[in-house]
């Protein structure tokens, strides 16, 4: 899912970058068309196309801002995911350490019980050792329970992050569809003057002339 989001962002960035590269050449062609045109109808068509271009350019600028925000959000979420993964690894190590301490405490308790059984007149000492060891085991158990709670919270955070990335992927796909739709609408509005390829590229270049790559 994360890979698909990155691919969508790369596709849109490349799409806008290629369009921007054509702006300079196509602006010259439009200047030539204006110079050579003496037909009022053609002049009116050019003016109408410029008005349409301004409207669509505004929409594309908004799309570009959304894409930049989406890319930054995706980057932030990836960093958060890495941080959560590192935290999970750290907590797993702490949990393993707590478990080892608990086992060591139980082994120490068993060893002290054996020594107490072998030694006469050490009931008081045994009671003290028993209390100290029980305290160690209790502390270790409490620490282990706390680590389990923290680990559960980290897992919930990761689940939430996956949901957020899925939503981000849907937003990127929607933005890609908007870009294609705007291009199609603009090309459909062009009358059949000069050549279809020249005018199509000319108008689309004006749509993207202020759109810089992500």
Tell me: the pLDDT tens digits for 73-117?
878 878 877 887 888 788 778 878 877 887 887 787 777 777 766
In a domain, 28, yes or no: yes
Predicted local distance difference test score (pLDDT) of residue 199: 43
Domain for residue 117, yes or no?
A: yes
Asked if the structure places residue 214 within a domain, the reply is no
Band (pLDDT 50/70/90 cuts) for residue 145 is: confident
pLDDT at 194 over 50: no
Q: What is the pTM of this model?
A: 0.38
Examine residue 143 and state whether it is found in any structural domain, yes or no: yes
Asked whether residue 189 is assigned to any structural domain, the reply reads yes
Q: Is residue 113 part of a domain?
A: yes
Angle ∠(190,30,184) on CA atoms, nearest 5? 30
Q: Which residue range is the domain that position 44 belongs to?
A: 2-207
- Kindly report, residue by residue over 26-80, the tens digit of the pLDDT: 666 667 666 666 666 767 767 776 776 677 777 777 777 777 877 788 788 788 7
Looking at the 3D structure of the chain, how many domains does it have?
1
213 in any annotated domain: no
Write the CATH number for 64. 1.10.287
Mean pLDDT over 189-212 rounds to 47
Q: Indicate whether 168 belongs to any domain.
A: yes
């Amino acid at each position: 899912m994360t890979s698909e989001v990155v691919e969508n962002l790369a596709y849109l960035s490349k799409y806008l970058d290629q369009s921007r590269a054509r702006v300079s050449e196509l602006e010259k062609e439009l200047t030539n068309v204006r110079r050579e045109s003496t037909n009022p109808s053609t002049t009116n068509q050019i003016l109408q196309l410029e008005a349409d271009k301004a409207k669509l350019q505004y929409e594309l600028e908004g799309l570009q801002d959304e894409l930049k925000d989406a890319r930054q959000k995706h980057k932030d979420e990836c960093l958060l995911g890495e941080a959560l993964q590192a935290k999970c690894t750290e907590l797993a190590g702490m949990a393993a350490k707590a478990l080892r301490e608990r086992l060591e405490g139980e082994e120490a308790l068993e060893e002290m019980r054996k020594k107490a059984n072998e030694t006469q007149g050490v009931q008081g000492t045994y009671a003290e050792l028993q209390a100290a060891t029980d305290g160690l085991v209790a502390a270790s158990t409490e620490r282990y329970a706390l680590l389990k709670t923290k680990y559960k919270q980290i897992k919930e955070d990761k689940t939430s992050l996956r949901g957020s990335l899925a939503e981000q992927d849907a937003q990127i796909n929607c933005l890609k569809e908007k870009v294609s739709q705007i291009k199609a609408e603009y090309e459909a509005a062009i009358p059949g003057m000069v050549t279809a390829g020249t005018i199509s590229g000319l108008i689309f270049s004006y749509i993207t002339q202020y759109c810089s790559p992500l």
